[in-house]
Structure 1
Amino acid sequence: MKKILFFLFFCTILSAQKTETIDLSKSIRDRSNSVKTFTVIDQRPNKEIGSVMYHKDQVNIAFENSADKDLQDWFYKENKERGNKDFVLLLENIEIIEDKKEKSSIGKLKLTASTFIKKEDGYHFVYRKDTAATVSSRVTPYLAQSLSKKITLILADLIKNSYQKTPWEYGLPESELKDYAVVLKEKLNILKTDSLKDGIYKSYYSFFTHNPEPGFVIETNKKGVATRAVKGDEKISIGNCYAFVYNGVPYKIIPVGYVEIFRDEEGLFIEVKKEELFPENSSNVVFIGGGVAGLIGSIVGTIAVSAIDASAAKKRSAMAGTEVSLDHLTGHYILPENFGKTK
């Protein structure tokens, strides 16, 4: 009798657990046919992804076989022609939890993964995704399916973007991959030098490695706003750059102009308001020859002038800004929690 009851109980438990398999069907075609091999290194401390509830059933989100096999099969199925690059996808974390509310649930996904090109001297960093996503049962009852799709979309975006990016010049041994973010940070000249090189930096990588475009001199208009960089007959708009350094002071280009970049023991950061990074009506802000037009005279419009013009700087100093870090691996903003929300 006890055996029968145990069997029935075991069957009930199994029936209450279901699996949502991650559907790796989105295209990750390498249109330049540059990749020869595709390797996955799964260094996640926990290989289990997580689960959410659907009615009374627990639904686990999982790869069909294993992360490394499924992701490698995904690439080779999509890409029949080969190039000469040895591509490496490093999985650092994929985690799903469910936050149960009184009348609904929110599925929360955290995903961190990076790409490298393996060469004779080691692994060269290419790109990274360190992101989070949420899905509410108020929007869809199929939390597991939606979260599974988000995993696929994030990984596909990481892989496809990596095809076009230039690998970093620093090669890392495989033993340092687990700490690659720290190791690479220690190599960046912009975080160590006391004297910055004046000029324009067209990409985040050139900025963090402290390599301005050679020969360009920054020009300002009558209001003291940096407008462009000039080298002979060649002119580059400030608005087309990632950052620039003028009189030894670094500035980050943002949608409404530019702001000063600061440095502390953690890295680089800027002080901005949400509407400066994400203006609701960006059509009112345009760069004309690298200068800012459309908002000059308003509080936001003084941003571009603030670093050079003393009166504008005083006006903007009264604005409540928030520290936003610059990710040394991607150049992206690392937004603090509740960024831009009022209490």
Structure 2
Amino acid sequence: MRKLMQLAFIFGAIIAFAQTKEVIKFRGNILNYTENPYAFFKVIDQREDKQIGTLPFGEQKEMKEVVFPSTPDADFSAWYLKSNQPGKLTDFFLVLKKLKLSTGESDGKKTEGKMDFSAQTFAKTGDKYQFLYKKDTVFTFYDKEVSELMVKNIPAVFSAFIKKAYSLNPAGNKVGLNGLEDYSTLVKNNYAALKGKPLKDGIYLDYISFFNQTPEPGDYVLESNSKGDITKAVKEENGKKTKISAYKMFAYVEKGKVRKSTFSGFMDLDQDENGFYVLGNRGHIFPVQSNSAYGMFGLIGGVAGAIEQRARQKKMKSGDVQKIYIDPLTGEYDFSEE
């Protein structure tokens, strides 16, 4: 009888423990459509905090810990092999820096959720690694069941991130395993814009030309509208005018001062020991949607109505101002939270 009671207690404890876990389900695929087949998919888990988050689920708001089915390396490797025929020479490496979920404010109908995401990808040939792509950002979600929505979208975030990396060719220095610990720091001194010299005046169409300090050739003159907003840059050579619209510019430098094109128009791009940054917040940088990851990665969830979008955009712009750095490896915003 005592043994039966012990077994019942153990069984009940196992069930109770299992019920406190919300396991990520890797649905969908990470199919590689490119001509760069990878032999294996490997994950190096460099997260300082291995806990993804403990969130409220269901009508009863039961607190559950979000977990991988087994380990990131085993889970992603199995996911990759479901939809890909392995190649022969090169391995695909994902360096996981951060994956953190949390919930925040609620208006009684919808609750805010945040996914803090940071990862890098590399192609490995032999014992050397070469950079592909990286992303450091915080996705925001708004939903009645925001915990369920975020967990459901974890595979979608990784799928879009990985497929973006597939489409890129390896670039930059080849490094050993130890060089992956902080690859961004390792390579940032390779860029002319980060070497402390005065910036070259001119028009820059992309982040590569800006960080390499190779502006468009010719003497361009900036033109503004009646509100003082830059609308285009114009140069005239041999009686012929060449125009570059403002929306085609990554940035321009005038008298050593750089201004970056953003959703809110051109904003000052300042520099400190960590690189170039815009002083602002999400409202200045991104157009708001029902879920901030929706437009970037096409995640699960509908787009908010126009009235709600305008209200949330205004709220976002009124938030705390911070330094939002420009990643010299990708030209994208590093928008992570400590």
Q: Give the TM-score, by structure 1 length.
A: 0.68
Other-structure match for 2:183: 180
Is residue 10 from structure 1 mapped to residue 39 from structure 2 by the alignment?
no
Other-structure match for 1:72: 77
Other-structure match for 2:313: none
Other-structure match for 2:157: 154
Residue deviations 1:149-207 (CA, integer Å, cap 9, x gap): 22111111111122233544233321021122322334433222322123333222332
1:139: how far off?
Answer: 0.8
CA distance in 1, matches of 2:72, 2:35: 23
Partner AA of 1:140 in structure 2 = E
Other-structure match for 1:194: 197
For residue 259 of structure 1, the aligned residue among 267, 276, 280 is 267
Partner AA of 1:125 in structure 2 = F
User: Do the aligned partners of residues 117 and 7 (structure 1) sit closer, same or farther apart at CA in structure 2, a change above 3 Å counting?
Assistant: same
1:216: how far off?
Answer: 4.3
Other-structure match for 1:24: 26
1:47: how far off?
Answer: 4.7
**Structure 1: gaps (5+ residues):** 281-319, 338-343
Local SS of the residue matching 1:251: strand
CA distance in 2, matches of 1:90, 1:122: 14
Partner AA of 2:254 in structure 1 = Y
8 Å CA contact 2:281, 2:324 repeated in 1: no
Partner AA of 1:41 in structure 2 = V
8 Å CA contact 1:269, 1:324 repeated in 2: yes
User: Do the aligned partners of residues 3 and 49 (structure 1) sit closer, same or farther apart at CA in structure 2, a change above 3 Å counting?
Assistant: farther
1:324: how far off?
Answer: 3.5
Cα RMSD (Å): 4.1
1:28: how far off?
Answer: 2.5
Other-structure match for 1:170: 173
8 Å CA contact 2:118, 2:336 repeated in 1: no
Other-structure match for 2:133: 127
CA distance in 1, matches of 2:122, 2:223: 42
Other-structure match for 1:117: 123
Residue deviations 1:250-274 (CA, integer Å, cap 9, x gap): 2211234323321122322234577
1:121: how far off?
Answer: 8.6
8 Å CA contact 2:137, 2:333 repeated in 1: no
User: Do the aligned partners of residues 204 and 35 (structure 1) sit closer, same or farther apart at CA in structure 2, a change above 3 Å counting?
Assistant: farther
1:130: how far off?
Answer: 2.5
How many residue pairs align between the two structures?
294
Residue deviations 1:294-333 (CA, integer Å, cap 9, x gap): xxxxxxxxxxxxxxxxxxxxxxxxxx99443223244333
CA distance in 1, matches of 2:285, 2:141: 25
Q: Give the TM-score, by structure 2 length.
A: 0.69
CA distance in 1, matches of 2:128, 2:5: 58
8 Å CA contact 2:103, 2:114 repeated in 1: yes
**Structure 2: gaps (5+ residues):** 289-318
CA distance in 2, matches of 1:124, 1:229: 39
8 Å CA contact 1:200, 1:238 repeated in 2: no
8 Å CA contact 2:39, 2:92 repeated in 1: yes
1:96: how far off?
Answer: 4.1
1:68: how far off?
Answer: 1.3
1:244: how far off?
Answer: 2.3
CA distance in 2, matches of 1:125, 1:229: 36
8 Å CA contact 1:38, 1:86 repeated in 2: yes
Is residue 63 from structure 1 mapped to residue 68 from structure 2 by the alignment?
yes
Local SS of the residue matching 1:41: strand
CA distance in 2, matches of 1:214, 1:270: 22
Local SS of the residue matching 2:233: strand
Other-structure match for 2:294: none
1:4: how far off?
Answer: 5.7
8 Å CA contact 1:201, 1:212 repeated in 2: yes
Is residue 245 from structure 1 mapped to residue 253 from structure 2 by the alignment?
yes
Q: Bigger shift: 217-226 or 20-29?
A: 217-226
For residue 269 of structure 1, the aligned residue among 265, 274, 277 is 277
1:58: how far off?
Answer: 5.6
8 Å CA contact 2:192, 2:213 repeated in 1: no
CA distance in 2, matches of 1:332, 1:176: 22
User: Do the aligned partners of residues 36 and 277 (structure 1) sit closer, same or farther apart at CA in structure 2, a change above 3 Å counting?
Assistant: closer
